[in-house]
Structure 1
Amino acid sequence: MRFSGHETFICRYTWLPKACSAIAENPSVLTNDEEAMVKLGVGKNMVNSIRFWVEVMGVAIPNRQQKVFNLTTFGRRVFSEDGFDPYLENIQTLWLLHWHLSSRKADPIFAWNFLLNRWPYPELSRSEVVTAFEREGKRLGYSHSSVTLAQHLDIFLRTYLPSQKRTAIEDSLDSPFVELALLRQSGQRRIGLKGPLEDVYLFRREAKPELTKAVFEYCLDDYWNRWHQTERTLTFRDIAVAECSIGQVFKLPEDDLRTRLELYVMSGVAQPFEYQLSAVQGQVTRNNIPDYDFLATVYETGYNHG
Structure 2
Amino acid sequence: MPGHDAPLPDALTDHWVDTRAPRATRPFLKLARIERPIGWWLLLMPCWWAAGLAAIAAGQPYPNPWHCLLFFVGAVLMRGAGCTFNDIIDRKLDAEVARTRGRPLPSGQVTAKAAALFMVAQALLGFVVLLQFNRFTIWLGIASLAIVAIYPFMKRVTNMPQFVLGLAFSWGGLLGWSAVFGRLDPPAFLIYAAAVAWTVGYDTIYAMQDIEDDVIVGIKSSARYFGNHTREAVALCFGLTLMLSGVAIWLVGGGLFAWLGFAAFAVHLAWQVKRIPGATSPVALRIFRSNQYAGLLLAAGLALDPISRAVLGV
TM-score by length of 2: 0.29
Indicate the structure with greater strand content. 1
Larger Rg: 1
TM-score by length of 1: 0.29
Indicate the structure with greater helix content. 2
Higher relative CO (Cα under 8 Å, sequence separation at least 6) belongs to 2
